Amino acid sequence: MNRIYVDNAATTKMSKAAIEAMLPYLEECYGNSSSLHTVGQLAAEALFKARQSIAESIGADIKEIYFTSGGSEADNQALISAAEMGARKGKKHIISQKTEHHAILHTLKKLEKQGFKVDLLNVDGEGNVTPEQIAEAIGPDTALVTIMTANNEIGTIMPIKEIAAVCKEKGVLFHTDAVQAVGHIPLDVHDIGCDMLSLSAHKFHGPKGAGALYVRKGLMPSCLIEGGAQERGRRAGTENIAGIVSMAAALKEAIGNISENTPRLIAMRDRLIKGLSEIPHSILNGSIINRLPGSVNMCFEGIEGESLLLLLDAKGICASSGSACTSGALDPSHVLLAIGRPHEVAHGSLRLTLSEENTPEEIEFIIKSTKDVVEYLRNMSPIWQDLQEGKRKYVIQ
């Protein structure tokens, strides 16, 4: 069967360029960059070039890039670094918001257990947090503000530049989880004004297991993995050279394609939103304006997201109900709850995240299939029966 892949927020297919860039470092140049012989030094050179390329791609200096195993590790390292830097000055307060990725939320939970005070700010109905909320929450003991650049479930793009400015003015460190944004929208660390930024290769057509943390010059990240002196002593372990080289190639390619891909993605995204909104008692999640180009998330009343996914999969459509971490669990998405969807509505969610490989024909097939499947599921649902007979009130009008 010809599969239609619309789960690019979970992970992306590797690009040809990313695969080709990787192969020499699996075959001939398999050295350890710490070795003094030629094979090792070829690896060291490749590592240097990849670091330079990734730094350039986000407007950073080569000394400001620390390679990690992905977005989760970069987030952990950022938060723990800021917490330790803060604690040394007696600052033990951290500000974030409710729709962050679990790599942030669970690390904050751990820090809370270690005596840090964590404030998770509420978001508005579109999943946004304002610079004013941040300014109000910052106190004399605030060590860090961490706000994601764009949400992985509902695609909302946060006003991080304005938030970074507030943090700078108040002398508080600012980190952003930009995993969904890097390679998808134009970004520059100096333009944002952040102190730290996380990125992950497999979200922009690179390999899984490679990521990076940008740390502004003058700040010293904490070391989570002890051992050798790799990453300037801040992250031990023989480097994933093939993955890192491939990540650099994928990022360069993705950034080069942004201007060409964006209008196409927005056209397909908006057609999907329009088509799916024709389904009665449906609602778009997230902002219609400040939204990632390829991201769609809708709720349909009276259905279970899991059943919808399985029936769409049977038609060859690979979609999601939210983040890969929450699907499979029975809890509704913390993001949909945070934007005010009641439990029963949050359960009926569908996330479709596009890439440049999708076509307008696929979009039409997805709209038609989703309409059919939602109708089929509703016809079998006793809850839907009650809603139709007026025994229950619709939550989504």
Provide the mask over 35-74, with x wherever binding to ligand PLP is found by CB under 6 A and - wherever it is not: -----------------------------------xxx--
**Residue 246 is a binding residue for ligand PLP (CB under 6 A):** no
Pair 184, 292: CB distance under 8 Å: yes
Q: Using CB under 6 A, pick the residue from 57, 180, 240, 353 that binds ligand PLP.
A: 180
CA-based nearest residue to 183, from 167, 162, 206: 206
Q: Is 155 in the site for ligand PLP (CB under 6 A)?
A: no
Residue in 99, 152, 246, 333 binding ligand PLP, rule: CB under 6 A: 152
Q: Which residue is nearest to ligand PLP (CB)?
A: 71
12 touches ligand PLP (CB under 6 A) = no
Neighbours of 256 (CB within 10 A): 13
Q: Report the residue from 21, 95, 148, 319 that binds ligand PLP according to the rule CB under 6 A.
A: 148
3-state secondary structure at position 125: coil
Q: Which two tokens stand for residue 300?
A: 């349909």
Beta strand 317-318 with 4-5 is parallel
Half-sphere exposure of 282 (CA within 13 A, CB side): 22
3-class state of residue 41 by DSSP: helix
Please work out the total of residues on this chain that contact ligand PLP, with binding judged by CB under 6 A: 15
Site stretch for ligand PLP (CB under 6 A), options 37-45, 85-93, 173-181, 314-322: 173-181
Listed residue (118, 162, 180) closest to 144, CA to CA: 118
Q: Are 215 and 64 in contact (CB under 8 A)?
A: yes
Interaction of residue 156 with ligand PLP, rule CB under 6 A = no
Residue whose entry in the numeric block shows the structure tokens 């970069």:
74
> In this chain, which stretch among 168-176, 200-208, 256-264, 352-360 interacts with ligand PLP, using CB under 6 A?
200-208
Nearer to ligand PLP, 194 or 373 (CB): 194
Work out which of 60, 121, 179, 373 binds ligand PLP, going by CB under 6 A: 179
Closer residue to ligand PLP in complex, CB, 31/207: 207
Helices (H) and strands (E) in the chain, counts: 13, 12
Dist CA 380 CA 397 (whole Å): 20
* By the rule CB under 6 A, 287 interacts with ligand PLP: no
Residue 7 binds ligand PLP, judged by CB under 6 A: no
Within its chain, how far is the Cα of 13 from the centroid? 16
- Per DSSP, the residues of 208-266 read TT-EEEEE-TT--PPPSS-SS-TGGGTS-S---HHHHHHHHHHHHHHHHHHHHHHHHHH
Q: Please answer whether residues 226 and 218 qualify as being in contact, where contact means their C-beta atoms are separated by less than 8 angstroms.
A: no
Q: How far is the CB of 353 from ligand PLP (least distance, A)?
A: 10
Least distance between ligand PLP and beta carbon 352 (Å): 15
Among 7, 177, 195, 253, binds ligand PLP (CB under 6 A): 177
- CB-wise, 121 or 303, nearer to ligand PLP? 121
**325 belongs to the catalytic site:** yes
Start-to-end C-alpha separation, the chain: 37
Least spacing, CB of residue 324 vs ligand PLP, in Å: 8
> Which lies closer to ligand PLP via its Cβ, residue 210 or residue 283?
210
Q: Which residues are catalytic?
A: 325
Contact positions toward ligand PLP, by CB under 6 A?
70-72, 75, 101, 103, 148, 152, 177, 179-180, 200, 202-203, 211
